[in-house]
């Protein structure tokens, strides 16, 4: 993530804010109209001193009560017009700017979904959340107020200065005396405030990360009694943020003191000089009143400069932070052109799979209300789920790794790759167990298949097609995944499962998948499959979450299945039932299964041992037990259970 120094170096606030133009362009007419209305309102306010001059030099000097009342009526009408015009300005900008904020937030969310996993590995979630909430709120406030009033106040000051110079050019020069020091102060303030504003916004992101992690990890915090240490960590970050905000306040106070004090001194000097001129008969009392009224009317436009500059700098840093994410390169969709020109094994045609390539979570109208499967429906459902037949076997069919090397993008230069020249072939319809020591790269290898990470070199093919030549959406419709740590969303059980299916999936597919995963427990939930699960699915047990995730993996009848130790949280009896159901599904699916226990290994036709970043051995479980000491060591302590399971198989 870029540092504050990097992001503020050679940066122009104007250049940063100009990047908002594509979002503002659709509502530019209303914004320009609002700015014009605000300028008219300010100019109406500047007419009031001229009316006062007329009243003092006319009806007041002539002792004409009717003229005084008429002047009061003019002042009332001008005040009402000014108030109505400013109200109209606010009404004009409210709706379009809320639309701009919503569009920017939606664009950020869409972009985040398309960014590679490596990006999300580098960025703290709180930093992303703060960009989608606090930063966008700052941008909306900037577009609603500072953007308009920097223009409006600028025009107001120019018009007011012209009016004062016309009234008396000598007094006008006295009032303009502080202009140069005020401009120098603003230039210095802008540079210093931009750095502090960026630092504060980054610290808000860090604080958001701590809060989010504390909420998601509340069970760990309470379980280990770490609430005091977490509170201390939060207080430290909050204290740091408070210090930065106080630095912002000191800078704002300094510029405010200069902007307020110097013009006030100038107005005081103009009052003394003007009073002397009135006493000498060189200036009428009405002209002095009009001059001073105009000068006082310009107090707010001048004093607001510091406030508006501060908001503009915060908006500029918010814009930078927003586009730091938006400028990140998204995953390429894959090869373009006619999919059939790349296909060799029929992989590329969604129609031939009978499943939609789209992996959308939200479905039009939502999934139909699921019902219970008929008695005895478990075995029938499993059989039906296994009916997605593979194409005719080819020499290069199935899942193949060819000289695959992988190093994480943020790995130190010169460090050895995690995976080094991996060669492995999972034949069509075959199940391959992947075994290795902790940290050997098993999970990383499985993540390469759906392109959650990109290979550093080498290639991976599905039925002969290089996965980099398959559009990502289609690839991820072909390959279903289930991770060891299942992630569930704050939605219904049915929505979570059907996330792995095409748009046309409904009750039948849901019930089949639940049967395979032995997840019939969902029917006992308060609303069955329509029951809402809590955030991250924490309202369910680990085994229940894992079974729902497994159901999500198999609901789409995938051609290729990647399972990362999907049964680790299950008890022995449930594991046996799930394995029995999975065997029928795996009979017609090309599967790669990360395994740590012999019971999971026995689901596969063959076993591959990953060691030292390479495939060290391939064979059946019994062959590797006899011929490979490392494999035997990994399986030690489980051999008797494994032999018993294999005896049951025979």
**Could you report the per-residue pLDDT of 207-244, keeping only the tens digit for each?**
888 887 787 777 677 776 777 888 888 889 999 999 99
Residue 529 burial class via C-beta count within 10 angstroms: exposed 0-12, middle 13-18, buried 19 and up: buried
pLDDT for position 354: 35
* Domains contained in the chain, CATH given: 25-326 (1.20.1560.10), 389-488+555-649 (3.40.50.300)
Residue 9 pLDDT exceeds 80: no
Q: Kindly report the backbone phi and psi dihedral angles of residue 445, in degrees, each rounded to the nearest multiple of 5, phi listed first.
A: -60, -45
Beta bridge partners of 432: 592, 606
CB atoms within 10 A of CB 272: 10
| Residues listed for the chain | 650
Residue 608 pLDDT grade (very low, low, confident, very high; cuts 50, 70, 90): very high
User: pTM for the full model?
Assistant: 0.68
Q: Check residue 537 and report its DSSP letter.
A: G
More confident: 445 or 303: 445
CB neighbour list of residue 339: distance below 8 Å, 6 or more residues apart? 348, 349, 471, 474
Residue 271 pLDDT exceeds 60: yes
Question: Which helix (H) or strand (E) covers residue 190, if one does?
Answer: helix 179-216
pLDDT for position 323: 92
**Could you report the per-residue pLDDT of 248-265, keeping only the tens digit for each?**
888 888 887 888 888 888
Token reading at 189: 């303030």
**Could you report the per-residue pLDDT of 366-379, keeping only the tens digit for each?**
333 333 333 344 44
Residue 610 pLDDT exceeds 80: yes
Token reading at 180: 């140069």
pLDDT for position 141: 86
* Mean residue pLDDT across the chain: 78
Residue 444 pLDDT exceeds 60: yes
Average pLDDT over residues 76-101: 84
**Could you report the per-residue pLDDT of 389-410, keeping only the tens digit for each?**
344 445 567 899 999 999 887 7
pLDDT for position 425: 92
pLDDT for position 460: 92
Sheet holding 560-564, edge to edge: 479-482, 560-564, 590-594, 431-436, 606-611, 614-619
Report the distance separating Cα 487 and Cα 484, nearest Å. Answer: 9
Report yes or no: 541 and 521 within 8 Å, Cβ to Cβ.
no
Token reading at 246: 């106080």
Of residues 584, 581, 591, the one with CA closest to residue 559 = 591
Of residues 295, 285, 292, the one with CA closest to residue 54 = 285
Report the distance separating Cα 538 and Cα 8, nearest Å. Answer: 41
Residues 622-649 as b or e (16 or more Cβ within 10 Å = b):
eebbeebebbeebbeeeeeebeebbeee
Using alpha carbons only, what angle is made at residue 144 by residues 138 and 145, rounded to the nearest 5 degrees?
A: 90
Lowest mean pLDDT among 1-10, 39-48, 178-187, 219-228: 1-10
**Could you report the per-residue pLDDT of 172-202, keeping only the tens digit for each?**
888 888 888 888 888 788 778 888 888 888 8
Residue 295 pLDDT grade (very low, low, confident, very high; cuts 50, 70, 90): confident
pLDDT for position 277: 81
Q: Kindly report the backbone phi and psi dihedral angles of residue 609, in degrees, each rounded to the nearest multiple of 5, phi listed first.
A: -100, 120
Tell me the chain's radius of gyration from C-alpha atoms: 35
Q: Which of 280-284, 389-393, 559-563 has the highest mean pLDDT?
A: 559-563
pLDDT for position 377: 46
Q: Please report the DSSP string for 572-634 in residue order.
A: HHHHHHHHHHHHHHHTTSEEEEE-SSHHHHTTSSEEEEEETTEEEEEE-HHHHHHH-HHHHHH
Provide the CB-side half-sphere exposure for 122 (13 A, CA).
15
Residue 577 pLDDT exceeds 80: no
pLDDT for position 333: 62
Residue 523 burial class via C-beta count within 10 angstroms: exposed 0-12, middle 13-18, buried 19 and up: middle
Q: Please report the DSSP string for 234-286 in residue order.
A: HHHHHHHHHHHHHHHHHHHHHHHHHHHHHHHHHHHHHHHHHHHHHHTTSS-HH
Report yes or no: 297 and 163 within 8 Å, Cβ to Cβ.
no
Residue 169 pLDDT exceeds 50: yes
Residue 346 pLDDT exceeds 60: no
């Amino acid at each position: 993530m870029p540092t504050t120094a990097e992001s503020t170096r050679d940066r122009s606030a104007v250049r940063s804010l100009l990047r908002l133009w594509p979002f503002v362009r659709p509502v530019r007419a209303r914004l320009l109209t609002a700015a014009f209305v605000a300028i008219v309102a300010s100019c109406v306010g500047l007419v009031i001193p001229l009316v006062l001059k007329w009243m003092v030099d006319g009806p007041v000097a002539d002792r004409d009560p009717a003229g005084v009342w008429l002047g009061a009526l003019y002042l009332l009408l001008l005040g009402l017009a000014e108030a109505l015009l400013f109200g109209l300005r606010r009404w004009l900008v409210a709706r379009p700017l809320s639309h701009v904020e919503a569009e920017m937030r939606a664009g950020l969310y869409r972009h985040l979904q398309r960014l590679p996993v490596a990006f999300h590995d580098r960025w703290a979630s709180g930093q992303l959340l703060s960009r989608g909430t606090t930063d966008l709120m700052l941008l909306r406030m900037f577009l609603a107020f500072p953007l308009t009033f920097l223009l409006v106040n600028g025009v107001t000051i120019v018009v007011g200065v012209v009016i004062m110079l016309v009234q008396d050019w000598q007094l006008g020069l006295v009032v303009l005396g502080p202009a140069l020091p005020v401009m120098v102060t603003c230039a210095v303030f802008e540079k210093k405030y931009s750095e502090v504003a960026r630092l504060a916004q980054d610290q808000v992101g860090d604080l958001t990360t701590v809060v989010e992690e504390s909420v998601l990890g509340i069970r760990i915090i309470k379980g280990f009694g770490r609430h005091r240490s977490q509170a201390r960590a939060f207080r430290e970050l909050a204290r740091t943020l408070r210090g930065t905000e106080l630095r912002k306040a000191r800078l704002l106070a300094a510029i405010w003191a200069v902007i307020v004090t110097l013009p006030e001194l100038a107005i005081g000097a103009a009052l003394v000089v003007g009073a002397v001129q009135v006493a000498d008969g060189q200036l009428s009392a009405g002209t002095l009143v009009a001059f001073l009224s105009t000068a006082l009317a310009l107090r707010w436009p001048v004093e607001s400069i510091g406030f508006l500059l501060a908001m503009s700098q915060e908006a500029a840093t918010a814009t930078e932070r927003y586009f730091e994410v938006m400028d990140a390169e998204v995953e390429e969709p894959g090869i373009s052109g006619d999919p059939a020109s790349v296909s060799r094994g029929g992989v590329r045609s969604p129609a031939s799979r009978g499943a939609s390539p789209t992996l959308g979570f939200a479905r039009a109208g939502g999934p139909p209300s699921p019902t219970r499967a008929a008695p005895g429906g478990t075995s029938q459902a499993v059989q039906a789920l296994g009916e997605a037949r593979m194409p005719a076997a080819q020499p290069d069919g199935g899942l193949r790794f060819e000289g695959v090397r992988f190093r994480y993008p943020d790995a130190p230069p010169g460090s050895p790759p995690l995976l080094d020249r991996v060669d492995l072939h999972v034949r069509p319809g075959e199940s391959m167990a992947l075994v290795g020591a902790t940290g050997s790269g098993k999970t990383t290898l499985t993540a390469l298949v759906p392109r959650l990470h990109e290979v550093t070199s080498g290639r991976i093919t599905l039925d002969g097609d290089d996965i980099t030549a398959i559009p990502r959406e289609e690839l991820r419709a072909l390959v279903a995944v289930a991770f060891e740590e299942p992630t569930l969303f704050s939605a219904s059980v049915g929505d979570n499962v059907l996330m792995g299916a095409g748009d046309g999936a409904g009750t039948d597919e849901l019930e089949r998948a639940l049967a395979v995963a032995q997840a019939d427990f969902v029917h006992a939930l308060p609303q069955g499959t329509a029951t809402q699960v809590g955030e991250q699915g924490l309202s369910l047990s680990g085994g229940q979450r894992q079974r729902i995730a497994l159901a999500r993996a198999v609901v789409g009848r995938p051609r290729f299945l990647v399972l990362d130790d999907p049964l680790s949280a299950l008890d022995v009896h449930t594991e046996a039932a799930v394995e029995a159901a999975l065997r029928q599904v795996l009979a017609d699916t090309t599967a790669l299964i990360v395994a740590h226990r012999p019971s999971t290994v026995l689901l596969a036709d063959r076993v591959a041992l990953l060691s030292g970043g390479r495939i060290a051995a391939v064979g059946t479980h019994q062959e590797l037990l006899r011929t490979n000491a490392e494999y035997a060591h990994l399986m030690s302590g489980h051999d008797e259970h494994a032999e018993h399971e294999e005896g049951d198989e025979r």
